[in-house]
Amino acid sequence: MTRSEKPDPRVVRRARWERATSSPLLVCGVLFIVAYSVLVLVPSLPGWLSPIILAVVIATWLIFLFDYVARWLLTPRGQRGRFVRATVPDLLSVLMPLFRAFRVLRDIPYLSHRTGAAVRTRVVAYAACYAAVFIYVISLATLRVERDAPGSTITTLGDALWWACVTVATVGYGDTYPVTGLGRLYAVMLMAGGIVIVGTASAVVISYLNEHILRVSRRDAEGSTPVE
C-alpha cells in the first residue's frame, strides 16, 4: 500500500476548493483583461464609469490574491514550501490575473495518449495562449506609460503590439522602443518571456526529432529481421 496512502484531509479540501473556484476565476480573469483594456484604450471615460472600471481591476486582483492565500492555508504546514515552488505560475498569475484563466486548459482530454505528440501539441497550445495574453497585457501596460512620454515611439495600441512582438521574438528593429523607466521594466519582462518562448520552441522541435529518429531506427531494426 505504498502508493495509495490515505490522503491528508486538508489536501482533499484544497483540491475541492480548486475545482469549485476554477470557473469563477476564469470569469475574473476575463473581466480583468476587459476592464484594463477599457482603462487604457478609451482615453476619456465618462465620469461615472471610470471608478467602476478601476474597481473591477482592483477587485479581480484581490480575488486572485485571496484564492492563492486560501490554497496556501489549505496546504499542510510541512508541504507549504513545496506548494509555493510547485505553483510559481499561479503566484505569477496573482500578479497578472488572466494567466490563471488558462488553468482550464489543463483538463483537455489529450492527456490519455501514450505518445509524446499529444504532450507536445499541448505544450505548443499552452505556449501560444500564454504568449498571446502575455503580449497583449504587456502591450497595454506599456502603452499606458509610454503614450504621453516625450520622445516616445509607442503611441497607439498597434505600435505597442508591434513593439511587443518584435521584442518577444528578440528581433528588436529599434523603430519602436520604450523610453520611460516603467516601460523599460515591462520590456525586460517581455524579453524574459521571449527567451522562454524560444526555449520552448527548441524543446518541442528536439522532442519531435528524437522521437522521429527513434521510430526510424526501430522500423529499420524490424525491417531487417522480418522473421524471428
Q: Does 174 bind a second copy (CB under 8 A)?
A: yes
C-alpha cell at 138: 504587456
Task: Please pick, from the candidates 49, 58, 113, 132, the single residue that binds a second copy as defined by CB under 8 A.
Answer: 113
- State which amino acid sits at residue 138: I
Return the residue of 39, 152, 199, 228 that touches a second copy, per CB under 8 A.
Answer: 199
Which range touches a second copy (CB under 8 A), out of 51-59, 64-72, 139-147, 191-199? 191-199
80 binds a second copy (CB under 8 A): no
Is 156 a binding residue for a second copy by CB under 8 A? The answer is no
Interface segment toward a second copy; rule CB under 8 A; list 48-56, 71-79, 98-106, 206-214: 206-214
Q: Which of 26, 38, 54, 204 binds a second copy (CB under 8 A)?
A: 204
Count of other CB atoms within 10 angstroms of residue 97 = 24
Calculate helix-pair angle for 181-224, 157-168, nearest 10 degrees: 50
Residues 6+ apart with CB under 8 A from 162: 176
Residue among 48, 133, 195, 227 that touches a second copy (CB under 8 A) = 195
50 touching a second copy, by CB under 8 A? no
Nearer to a second copy, 62 or 169 (CB): 169
Q: Does 26 bind a second copy (CB under 8 A)?
A: no
| Segment lying near a second copy (by CB under 8 A), choices 14-22, 25-33, 66-74, 205-213 | 205-213
For a second copy, give the closer residue by CB, 24 or 220.
220
Contact status: 149 vs a second copy (CB under 8 A): no
The residues binding a second copy (CB under 8 A) are: 85, 111-116, 118-121, 123, 158, 162, 165-167, 169-175, 177, 179, 181, 184, 187-188, 191-192, 194-210, 212-213, 216-217, 220-221, 223
